[in-house]
Structure 1
Amino acid sequence: MTANTHERRVGKAYLRELGISFAVYAILLVASILYGRPMAEGVPRTLVLLSPMLGFCLMLWAIARHLDRVDEYLRRYLLESFALAAALTAGLTFSYGFLETAGYPRLSMFAVWVVLCVATVLVCAVRALRQR
């Protein structure tokens, strides 16, 4: 099997696993919003509202499997990119935290994930352009 064939097979497996994980997350998210919010307070409601995290855990599993399947160079490249994106996210969120003390509106923690995703895409794009 050539390296290119292996990379395509690994990529397809990753996208399939991540896609299924994301579908589970989306279905559980919609269900938790529709059914969990109107439920009476208590443990069952908490479990229903946390149920989308099952999809999130499946996404983590898919990502870990992908990192295990790829070659050492790509693994290092992805982890370095993510580390840079995490550092950028930390800097941005700490900066905004200081702005909140000056009266800026408070943001949900969900905003941090959006910043992390955007930062990861930007870091990967910049690194890809630099390696040309």
Structure 2
Amino acid sequence: MREKDAARMYKREMWSSLALYAVILMLAIRFGRPMPEGLLRTVVLASPMIGFGAAFWAIVRHFARMDEYIRRTQLENIAMAAGITAGLSFTYGFLETAGFPKLSMFSVWITMGGAWAGISLLRCRLLAR
């Protein structure tokens, strides 16, 4: 499969899964928050994970379509992003004991995604020279 075709397929799958996530998230917030506490409310509020699962599957499929060099490069980028995220979250854990406000676990994924994107862009720029 050509790289452009694989990228086009990935974008279609990823945007579809993100749209699914957004719709389920809005419905979960709208209907789940006012529900009484219990198992049903927990399931409804966790239901956006269906969209996350679809996005995860799109990423796995995209990695399977990549050639070996691009796959290795992306896995290196993810490994570096995971290291940065681990270091930052570990550091912030110490800062919380010093009185800094507690952060939501959502911030970990934002940090990981930002680090992955930043590293990918930086390496792309450095390799293009």
Normalising by structure 2, report the TM-score.
0.96
Structure 2 unpaired stretches of 5+:
none
Partner residue of 1:119? 115
1:21 has 2:23 as partner: no
Confirm whether residue 43 of structure 1 aligns to residue 39 of structure 2: yes
Q: 1:106 aligns with which of 86, 93, 102?
A: 102
Give 1:37's aligned amino acid.
R
Structure 1, residues 49-98: CA drift from partner, whole Å, max 9, x if none? Answer: 01100000000100000000110111111111011001001111111111
Q: Which residue of 2 aligns with 1:8?
A: 4
Aligned twin of 1:32:
28
Q: Secondary structure at the match of 1:24?
A: helix
Counterpart position of 1:70: 66
Q: Distance in 2 between matches of 1:122 and 1:93?
A: 17
Q: Match of 1:20, as an amino acid?
A: S
CA shift for structure 1 position 125: 1.4
Root-mean-square deviation over aligned CA pairs: 1.0
Instruction: Please state whether the residue corresponding to 1:87 is helix, strand or coil.
Output: helix
Task: Quote the Cα distance in structure 1 between the aligned partners of 2:107 and 2:7.
Answer: 28
Consecutive unaligned residues of structure 1, counting only runs of 5 or more, are: none
Q: What secondary structure sits across from 1:108 in the alignment?
A: coil
TM-score by length of 1: 0.94
